[in-house]
Structure 1
C-alpha cells in the first residue's frame, strides 16, 4: 500500500475512533476534571481505553506495533491536555492529524 493511502486510512480511522466510537459517555469519562462516578476516579481507564482504540487502529493500518504504541501514548497525552484546558478543540484535532503525518513520515524513512 502506498503512503498516501495509508495516510488516508489513518485519517479516516481517526474520525471513526474520535467520533462514533468515542460517544458522549466516553468523552466525559476520560476527562479527569469531571466526576462522573462520585468517589471513584474512572478517567484513567476511560482515557487509556480511548487511546488504545486509536493505537489499535494505527497499528492495524500501518502494520507497526511501535506506531500503535506511539499513537496510544500521544493520543492520551493530547486528550489529557485538552481536558485540562491547555488545548482548544481545534488544537487537539490538529495535533492528532500531525501525529498521523509523523507516523507516515517514519514509515517513509523506514524507521517504523
Structure 2
C-alpha cells in the first residue's frame, strides 16, 4: 500500500469517526450509552454497543479488516465508558479515538495481510 493510500485511509477513518460520533450517534445514544446516568428502560450496554458497532463497522469497511473493526468496537466501548464515568475528559476521549485510527493504519502498514 502506498503512503498516499495510507494517508487517504487515515483521512477516511477520521471522517467516518466524525460521522459516527456526531450525526449517527444522536442525543439518544449519547445519553443512553452511559451506565452512570442510565436512561430508564434502556440497557446502557446495548446503547454503548450499538454506538461502538457503528464505529467498528466503519473501520472494517474502510480498512477491509474485520479484525480492526472488532478492535475498534472494543476500544471505542472502553474509551467512551471512561468518558461517561468522568475518568477522562471529552478532549482526551477524542484524542484516544484518533490515536486508535493511527494504530489501525500502522498495523496495516506493518501487517498488510491483516484479515
- Tell me whether the two structures share a fold, i.e. TM-score over 0.5: yes
Deviations 1:26-65 (A, max 9, x none): 100001111311xx46101000000000000000000000
- Whole-angstrom CA distance in 2 between matches of 1:76 and 1:56: 13
Q: Is the 8 A contact 2:83 2:90 kept in 1?
A: yes
2:67 corresponding residue in structure 1 = 66
Is 1:57 matched with 2:25? no
Work out the CA distance in 2 between the residues paired with 1:35 and 1:83.
11
User: 2:26 matched to which residue of 1?
Assistant: 23
1:13 aligns with 2:16: yes
Q: Distance in 1 between matches of 2:107 and 2:98?
A: 14
How many residue pairs end up in the alignment? Answer: 110
- Distance in 1 (CA, whole Å) between partners of 2:73 and 2:33 is 14
Where structure 1 has 5 or more consecutive residues not aligned to the other structure, the ranges are: none
Q: Which residue of 1 aligns with 2:37?
A: 34
* CA–CA separation in structure 2 for the residues paired with 1:27 and 1:36: 10
Gapped runs of 5+ residues in structure 2? none
Q: Which residue of 2 aligns with 1:96?
A: 97
TM-score (norm 2): 0.92
Aligned-residue RMSD, C-alpha: 1.2
In the superposition, the TM-score normalised over structure 1's length comes to 0.94
